Structure 1
């Protein structure tokens, strides 16, 4: 049986992820954030004061990637760190006023990136695709 990459969900998911990332990058760059920073921003907009370990667990990326992302976000004026009040080894991460001020526009940029990819979809097709994506993510987490 021949392998056709266009019948491979793994291959197509990779292409789709890159395409979504590019769409978000174009929009986010104007606001001052990179696509890799967006999941961290979403978590911190939801709950500030998380530690790097808590962010790692929520965003599910490698330790080194998280450390680099946070360093870049700090350099770009999006976050600042404070010593954890009870754990001397940990730091809590807080948003700056700049990052708080961009929340609505950043979320709108993500919605626009989504809409650009789903523009020819009927509502139920988009909902089905999202349902299937969530199901595949859950299945992948089990493996």
Structure 2
């Protein structure tokens, strides 16, 4: 075998993702947040989603894990749920005042971690790196979509 699987993009990105997750958990934990909650926190803060279904779609996770995460977030005082008057089976989800107050510090801690992780990169390199990752994720989403379609037929 000529290629070293330990220096493939997939493996290196996996290592980087785990490193970022450890760093983020260490910095977010004291604020009561977990790194897995970030898509939910951002979506609720920015008004992108207000229901469990929309949050699951936004975060690209299945409904059962999203339900579990939301239950933990509600238990921890980060979100509130109110019944949708039009659809009694659905709830509107919102950040609590506590979560809103902590979110700006959480964001700053994450941005600082990203700046530290990209030490030695020029601004142009960092921007290009992000562009590459966005393109890579789009490719992976497209491949997964095609493979899902093929497995359904």
> 2:29 maps to what in 1?
29
Query: Quick check: 1:40 aligned with 2:40?
Result: yes
* Shift of residue 84, structure 1, vs aligned partner: 1.0
Output one character per residue of 1:80-136: Cα deviation in whole Å (capped at 9) or x when no partner: 111112112111111111011112101101101211210121111111110000000
* Shift of residue 64, structure 1, vs aligned partner: 2.2
> 2:93 maps to what in 1?
93
Runs ≥4 residues deviating over 3 A:
none
- Give the distance between the partners of 1:94 and 1:48, measured in 2 at CA: 11
The alpha-carbon distance between structure 1 residues 142 and 49, as it changes in their structure 2 partners (threshold 3 A), is closer
Gaps of 5+ in 1: none
The TM-score with structure 1 as length reference comes to: 0.93
Structure 1 range deviating more: 127-136 or 9-18: 9-18
* Shift of residue 9, structure 1, vs aligned partner: 1.2
> 2:149 maps to what in 1?
none
The TM-score with structure 2 as length reference comes to: 0.88
The alpha-carbon distance between structure 1 residues 48 and 101, as it changes in their structure 2 partners (threshold 3 A), is farther
- Give the distance between the partners of 1:37 and 1:29, measured in 2 at CA: 11
Structure 1 range deviating more: 23-32 or 43-52: 43-52
* Shift of residue 6, structure 1, vs aligned partner: 3.0
Gaps of 5+ in 2: 144-153
> 2:15 maps to what in 1?
15
Structure of higher CA gyration radius: 2
The alpha-carbon distance between structure 1 residues 94 and 48, as it changes in their structure 2 partners (threshold 3 A), is farther
> 2:79 maps to what in 1?
79
- Give the distance between the partners of 2:41 and 2:140, measured in 1 at CA: 24
Aligned length: 143
Equivalent residue of 2:88, what SS? coil
- Give the distance between the partners of 1:69 and 1:17, measured in 2 at CA: 20
